[in-house]
Structure 1
Amino acid sequence: MPAAPRSAGTTLRRCLLNPLALGYLAVVAAVWVWIGVDTLLVTHADASTAAVWGFFVTAPTSLLLAGLPGPLPFLGVAAGALVQALALGAGYRWLASRGHGHGRTGASHA
């Protein structure tokens, strides 16, 4: 019997709620917390380039929108984080599904 089709919401949730995607989003959040602390609490003689790291951790998607005016580049960072997390989560789920049900017992085969 074929499996029932999944809704888009279920598929997105399964791609985002796994260790790899959540770990990536935690790294992105930690970088932006660091950027906020650097911007608000650290005195610099020159302008800080800490915000560049927010674009680096969400590249290449965020870099596509980096040249837009106003706050749009920061929407690109959010979109980049989501796109990369979905891609990592989908890859994780694909690799995890390939490892199950193929007769592997964990023992080495000589």
Structure 2
Amino acid sequence: MADNSLIQGRIPASMMNLSRLEMLRLDMNNISGEISPSISNLKSLQYLCLLQNSFHGLIPDTICSISSLRCLALGGNSFAGNIPNCIGQLNELSQLEVSSNKMNGSIHSLSSFFRN
């Protein structure tokens, strides 16, 4: 955990090789850049919490290949575009936080999420 630790810059690419990592929590820092499509390498990830940073760009569709994901907290950044349609297919996902971003459009993919 590295909440409010004054971390700056980007998440190192080498971090995407931690296939056994279960929690990545970097809330309330000054981390910038985009979420790398190689996030899908984190096959054991259950909690991804990147609240209140300076992330931007799209949320990559590859995030949906992390079937163990239980919590996805991306609020308070500058993510744009739509939530990937495949998010609603993550059966273990029970928490989704994407408020205070620059997203727009429909979230049709979440209908199954709310049924679960």
Q: TM-score range by the shorter chain?
A: under 0.3
| Higher normalized helix content (fraction of residues) | 1
Which has a greater percent of strand?
Answer: 2
Larger Rg: 1
